[in-house]
Amino acid sequence: MSEQEPNAERDGQEPTTSPAEKYDEYVMPITKGYDPFTVERASGTTMETTEGDQYLDCFSGISVTNAGHNNPEVVAAAKDQLDDLIHTCSYVYRNEPVADLAERIAEITPGDLQKTFFCNSGTEAVEGAIKLARKHTGSKEVVALEMAFHGRTLGSLALTGNHAYKHEMAPTMNDVVHAPAPYQFRSPYGDCSEEEFAARAAEELERVIGTHTSTDLAAVVLEPVMGEGGIVVPPKGYLKRVQEIAHDHGALLILDEVQTGYGRTGTMFASEQFDVEPDILTQAKGIADGLPLGAFTAPADIADSFEAGDHLSTFGGNPVCCAAALANIDALQDGIVENAAEQGEWLAERLADLEDEYDLVGETRGRGLMFGVELVGPLAEEDTDASDRDAGTAEGEPAKKAADAVKDYMREEHGVLVGVGGYHKNVIRFQPPLTITREELERAVGALEDGLRAVEA
Ligand SMILES: Cc1ncc(COP(=O)(O)O)c(C=O)c1O
């Protein structure tokens, strides 16, 4: 007879009941440490814990709840749809929310982008877009950028230009090469104007195509503004030039707007600000204000390269998520994107002042309500490992520990939540719900300054 399984209650022990204990026991340990609270409910820019503590959220669940947590119109639309129909598999039986959302996306995306495939997440959107580019061009190779992030499934991980996400789980998809990111703060080309930098970075990409591919190119894929890479804004003219290079090689330009889309940068899509119309545009995160939905959209002549059976997703185009997305787009267009642009302008100026005021602040950069504060300097030497230092910089070593310390200080002392990211993990990320008010932003920047002062001291 086998031995009895341990049972806490029968053995007279306290049962493990708290979410924290259950996470430890039953959830795979994929983050190194969760922030030390459990969220019970959220509304607008506020998250409330099971203990009743309230936090001002300036990270939006990694840039997702653009229309505010539990936006009432999104909630109402999802609830209505729940009563009627939860699932059809939209690739077997049509449903109305998919039809309406696809039409709406054609209206709000740039240029001729017209036909959409729906899936459930950003990484699926990116991988689907690569499949479409391969099918359309008949070619295989893909160029992505160093420092880029495109997701964690094996195809998207291959495109991600950061070893920190790969660990021992690479190699992944074949036929991917990486070109240097247009990251002017740590420019390898010395002091140069934005225009010169754009030209040099684009030349580098062309050199990588020439040296590392057989020029059997299906796509160049990049984020209009890098998110996980540290809120890196490309220089003017770069994206357009990259599209020309891609087209010269018979390849498509895929812009991954999973993080920048749906108002995050102060326009519905960041592409609009860089005067470029991608050949395929990927979306997720802010598309449905927190309900799981991903998508990629292409002009009809590209989209129609897919034939029956080429691609499918069981849950993709879920009617509840699509109904929520439609209400989300209404809400975003009804003043929320405008608010992101307006508050973003104020935030840009306010953060720029910090560059002179604090030694720790190397650069502040971003668009709309997607801003990064890159920390450098005195604490950095012992904080960074050798590979980080190898990056070399005239501007100061990346201050990773300082970034974590400032983030923790802001949470503990001010109840303000921000993210930390960047290739060197030294960038404080401001990506609040786009409904944030000036007063709340002032509070957040005040908390940041207090954190910088405390850590510098
Ligand atoms: C630009 C970009 N692409 C793709 C992804 C992957 O999205 P998901 O986590 O929904 O798979 C992310 C996630 O952070 C992202 O920022």
Query: pLDDT per position in the chain (457 positions), as tens?
Result: 345 555 555 566 665 588 888 888 888 887 666 677 899 999 999 999 999 999 999 999 999 999 999 999 999 999 999 999 999 999 999 999 999 999 999 999 999 999 999 999 999 999 999 999 999 999 999 999 999 999 999 999 999 999 888 877 776 788 999 999 999 999 888 889 999 999 999 999 999 999 999 999 999 999 999 999 999 999 999 999 999 999 999 999 999 999 999 999 999 999 999 999 999 999 999 999 999 999 999 999 999 999 999 999 999 999 999 999 999 999 999 999 999 999 999 999 999 999 999 999 999 999 999 999 999 985 444 544 544 444 444 358 999 999 999 999 999 999 999 999 999 999 999 999 999 999 999 999 999 999 999 999 8
Q: Are 318 and 171 found together in one domain?
A: yes
Residue 14 CB: number of other CB atoms within 10 A? Answer: 8
Q: Are 396 and 412 found together in one domain?
A: yes
CATH no. for residue 389? 3.90.1150.10
Ligand 1 atom nearest the C-alpha of 153 is 11
Structure-derived torsion over alpha carbons of residues 166, 167, 171, 173, reported in degrees to the nearest 10: -10
Strand order in the sheet with 427-430: 361-367, 370-375, 427-430, 419-421
Q: How far is the CA of 84 from the centre of ligand 1 (A)?
A: 30
Ligand 1 atom nearest the C-alpha of 151 is 6
Residue 255 in contact with residue 271, Cβ under 8 Å? yes
Q: Quick check: CB of 122 below 6 Å from ligand 1?
A: yes
Q: Quick check: CB of 284 below 6 Å from ligand 1?
A: yes
Both tokens of 12, joined, read 């007279």
Residue 235: cis peptide before it, omega within 30 degrees of 0: no
- For a substitution probing ligand 1, which of 149, 159, 262, 431 has the most ligand atoms within 8 Å of its CB? 149
Cα distances (Å, whole numbers) of residue 83 to 102, 133, 139, 326: 22, 38, 45, 17
Q: Give the N- to C-terminal CA distance of the chain in Å, as an integer.
A: 64
Q: Are 202 and 266 found together in one domain?
A: yes
Final residue belonging to a domain, choices 332, 354, 387: 332
- Coil, helix or strand at residue 419: strand
In a domain, 2, yes or no: no
Find all residues with CB under 8 Å of 206, minimum gap 6, and list them.
Answer: 245
Residue in the structure block whose two tokens are 């440490």: 33
Q: Quick check: CB of 281 below 6 Å from ligand 1?
A: no
Cα separation, 239 vs 139, in Å, equals 22
Residue 225 in contact with residue 260, Cβ under 8 Å? yes
Q: Quick check: CB of 258 below 6 Å from ligand 1?
A: yes
* Consecutive H or E run containing 454: helix 438-456
235-246: string of b/e by CB count within 10 Å (b at 16+)? Answer: bebbbbbbbebb
Beta strands in 27-140 (DSSP E): 39-43, 46-49, 54-57, 115-119
In a domain, 180, yes or no: yes
Q: Quick check: CB of 296 below 6 Å from ligand 1?
A: no
Cα separation, 131 vs 134, in Å, equals 5
Predicted local confidence at residue 445, as pLDDT: 98
Cα separation, 430 vs 419, in Å, equals 7
Q: Quick check: CB of 224 below 6 Å from ligand 1?
A: no
Q: Quick check: CB of 120 below 6 Å from ligand 1?
A: no
In a domain, 13, yes or no: no
Q: Quick check: CB of 295 below 6 Å from ligand 1?
A: no
CATH no. for residue 171? 3.40.640.10
In a domain, 14, yes or no: no
In a domain, 377, yes or no: yes
Q: How far is the CA of 232 from the centre of ligand 1 (A)?
A: 15
- Which amino acid residue places its CA nearest to atom 4 of ligand 1? 150
Ligand 1 atom nearest the C-alpha of 228 is 16
How many domains, in total, are found in the chain? 2
Predicted local confidence at residue 97, as pLDDT: 98
Q: Are 344 and 384 found together in one domain?
A: yes
Q: Are 375 and 346 found together in one domain?
A: yes
Q: How far is the CA of 446 from the centre of ligand 1 (A)?
A: 30
Residue 15 in contact with residue 24, Cβ under 8 Å? no
- For a substitution probing ligand 1, which of 223, 259, 264 has the most ligand atoms within 8 Å of its CB? 259
Q: Quick check: CB of 150 below 6 Å from ligand 1?
A: yes
Q: Are strands 294-298 and 280-283 parallel, antiparallel or unpaired?
A: antiparallel
- Which amino acid residue places its CA nearest to atom 13 of ligand 1? 151
Domain residues for 310?
Answer: 72-332
Final residue belonging to a domain, choices 292, 311, 332: 332
Q: Quick check: CB of 121 below 6 Å from ligand 1?
A: yes
Q: Are 198 and 237 found together in one domain?
A: yes
- Coil, helix or strand at residue 42: strand
Predicted local confidence at residue 8, as pLDDT: 54
- For a substitution probing ligand 1, which of 59, 150, 420 has the most ligand atoms within 8 Å of its CB? 150
Q: Are 174 and 321 found together in one domain?
A: yes
Helical ranges in 305-379 per DSSP H: 319-331, 337-357
Q: Are 44 and 90 found together in one domain?
A: no
Q: Quick check: CB of 127 below 6 Å from ligand 1?
A: no
Q: Are 240 and 146 found together in one domain?
A: yes
Residue 255 in contact with residue 324, Cβ under 8 Å? no
- Which amino acid residue places its CA nearest to atom 3 of ligand 1? 150
Q: Quick check: CB of 286 below 6 Å from ligand 1?
A: no
Q: Are 77 and 218 found together in one domain?
A: yes
Q: How far is the CA of 152 from the centre of ligand 1 (A)?
A: 8
- Coil, helix or strand at residue 370: strand
Residue 161 in contact with residue 181, Cβ under 8 Å? yes
Residue 15 in contact with residue 41, Cβ under 8 Å? no
Q: How far is the CA of 159 from the centre of ligand 1 (A)?
A: 12
Q: Are 154 and 203 found together in one domain?
A: yes
Q: Are 397 and 446 found together in one domain?
A: yes
